[in-house]
Amino acid sequence: MTELDIDAERLLGRLRTLGEIGRDDGGKLTRLAASDTDRLGRDRVGGWMREAGLEILVDRVGNLVGLWRTGAEGAAPLMLGSHIDTVINAGIYDGCFGVLSGLEVIETLKAAGARPQRPLAVAAFTNEEGVRYAPDMLGSLAYAGGLGVAEALATVGTDGTVLGEELARIGYAGTQEPGFLRPHAYLEIHVEQGPVLEHQGIPIGAVENVQGISWQRVTIEGEANHAGTTPMRMRHDAGQAAARVVTFLRERVTRGNAPTVATVGCMTFEPNAINVVPSRASFTVDLRDPDEERLREEELALARYLDELAAAEGVTIQTERLARFAPVAFDGAVVAAIEQAATRRGLRSRRMTSGAGHDAQMIARLCPTAMIFVPSAGGISHNPREHTPAEDLVAGANVLLDVTRALCGG
């Protein structure tokens, strides 16, 4: 296979440009799914896809796809992609690196006069982050047939908006049915968002599986009372009960050496007044584990603890499931192709598990799928300090190019 390289300056420049879209007056970057800033990001990426001569296709849940109709008539496309929606106060690489690298690979092949044996597509999936609308990976889940379109569009956000209405408002309520292109294979490149590659000095991760995810919202109803006059033993303090759950989770998942992780990322009290015992606490629990059995055990242990807590504190506790995805194993042949491509470029690689959820976790239901990771500085992500050195970004994108060529004869 003749050596071909991506256009590093074009890729890095686009990452910086997209990374400026959606910053607030304080410079914080936030492009929540189907928001006005998400629209601006979509418009920018769709413009680059159009300039590259790709056909732009949008499905009913807003998944944005650029398609190069080439190769054998009727052949299933090789799909690249990720997401461009972000968390709150985000970095510029999470998701965006995957979409822009996929576009860069296609543009490089087109410019080189390559003649792939199959079409090439690059997708930006809706609402991968799940910050505004749960579950996360909603767009790719719908694309893979794991969530009905009507149900997806009826999803109510944390701000009370309805996803379908918001997609229509920003002009991305497309007409294609999710899954309209069934990929031959799917490849996603992503920053690792963890410390492993950097710590080991390895530039390429050949991701062979993604851990399972369990999201739920817990609501504790206690009794408002006077902070000064109510004896401690007479309180039904929803805030105190919530704090005990947070401590329980930390102590439970750190008691052994299992890789289970637990996070309480959102918490609100009512009436949220300095001198009122909280009557209500609402918070989210994010549990993850690469082993389905262990994940289920952790969910059950939490449920048991909530029952005990309700009795002990004299409160009522309700839970609402927000997302639940089993661990996913990727395709061994595609993982091997990633390792071979890295080796051919003289790059060390290692097989690894993804701690974060990804669209690939959903598209793996449709076709052979795998991911490429590049190192994250300090293992940091979901944080404006998220960073990956340019040489690692370019090396990763070149490996994506080579695997793409290997998979579609480009």
Q: Which residues bind ligand HGY (CB under 6 A)?
A: 128-130, 136, 356-357
Options 46, 95, 183, 368; binder of Mn ion; rule CB under 5 A: 95
Burial of 44 (0-12, 13-18, 19+ CB in 10 A): middle
> Strand, helix or coil at 231?
coil
Q: Which is nearer to Mn ion, 155 or 354 (CB)?
A: 354
Cα 370 from chain centre:
15
Stretch that binds Mn ion, among 95-103, 142-150, 179-187, 294-302 (CB under 5 A): 95-103
Q: Which does 183 bind (CB under 5 to 8 A by kind): Mn ion, ligand HGY, none?
A: none
Q: Which does 313 bind (CB under 5 to 8 A by kind): Mn ion, ligand HGY, none?
A: none
| Sequence-ordered list of residues with C-beta below 8 angstroms from that of 154, at least 6 positions apart, any chain | 162, 163, 164
Contact (CB, 8 A) for 188 and 80: yes
Backbone angles phi, psi at 68, to 5 degrees: -100, 105
Whole-number minimum distance, CB 233 to Mn ion, in Å?
A: 44
Q: Which is nearer to Mn ion, 124 or 306 (CB)?
A: 124
Report d(CA 288, CA 297) in Å as an integer. 11
Q: Which does 85 bind (CB under 5 to 8 A by kind): Mn ion, ligand HGY, none?
A: none
Whole-number minimum distance, CB 135 to Mn ion, in Å?
A: 13
Contact positions with Mn ion (CB under 5 A) in 269-298: none
**Alpha-carbon distance values, 271 to 226, 252, 280, 281 (Å):** 12, 30, 7, 9
Options 38, 59, 85, 94; binder of Mn ion; rule CB under 5 A: 94
Q: Which is nearer to Mn ion, 301 or 323 (CB)?
A: 323
Report the 10 Å Cβ neighbour count for 300: 10
Whole-number minimum distance, CB 129 to Mn ion, in Å?
A: 5
| Sequence-ordered list of residues with C-beta below 8 angstroms from that of 317, at least 6 positions apart, any chain | 218, 219, 220, 221, 241, 306, 307, 309, 310
Q: Which is nearer to Mn ion, 84 or 153 (CB)?
A: 84
Q: Which is nearer to Mn ion, 95 or 396 (CB)?
A: 95
Q: What crossing angle do the helices spanning 8-20 and 36-51 adopt, rounded to 10°? A: 160
Q: Which does 289 bind (CB under 5 to 8 A by kind): Mn ion, ligand HGY, none?
A: none
Stretch that binds Mn ion, among 88-96, 142-150, 173-181, 205-213 (CB under 5 A): 88-96
Contact (CB, 8 A) for 278 and 224: yes
Q: Which is nearer to Mn ion, 94 or 339 (CB)?
A: 94
Q: Which does 130 bind (CB under 5 to 8 A by kind): ligand HGY, Mn ion, none?
A: ligand HGY
Q: Which does 136 bind (CB under 5 to 8 A by kind): Mn ion, ligand HGY, none?
A: ligand HGY
Residues that bind Mn ion (CB under 5 A): 94-95
